[in-house]
Amino acid sequence: MQPDTIKQLIIKHCHDAGISGSAHAFRRTMAKSFLMNGGNAYALQALLGHSDITMTRHYVSLQPADVRHRHETCSPVESLLRYAQKCKDERKMSRE
């Protein structure tokens, strides 16, 4: 499949769905989604074919809420707190 074919398919599907979009917007959305779902920035760099991580950084602009979300899901402290709550809940259920 040629790059122009992919580009045209994305434009067609966006048009059919009644939304504006482009191959570049799709690529940016994929990049952000990849990171927000736990992907590694260097793996993303390789997926996008960038020789420099700086270019990858230009592709993804994370908002403060995005950074907060990633911190909450990856933070060792948050992980310990979730584990402690899970243990507490299990003890409570076993007593009932």
Taking only the tens place, the pLDDT of each residue in 68-88 is 888 887 788 888 888 999 999
Instruction: Give residue 4's pLDDT band: very low, low, confident or very high (50, 70, 90).
Output: confident
**CA-based Rg of the chain, rounded to a whole angstrom?**
20
The answer on pLDDT for 46 being more than 90 is yes
Q: What is the dihedral of CA 10, 54, 51, 23, to 10 degrees?
A: 10
Q: What's the pLDDT at 23?
A: 82
Q: What's the pLDDT at 87?
A: 93
Q: What's the pLDDT at 85?
A: 92
Q: Does the pTM exceed 0.75? A: no
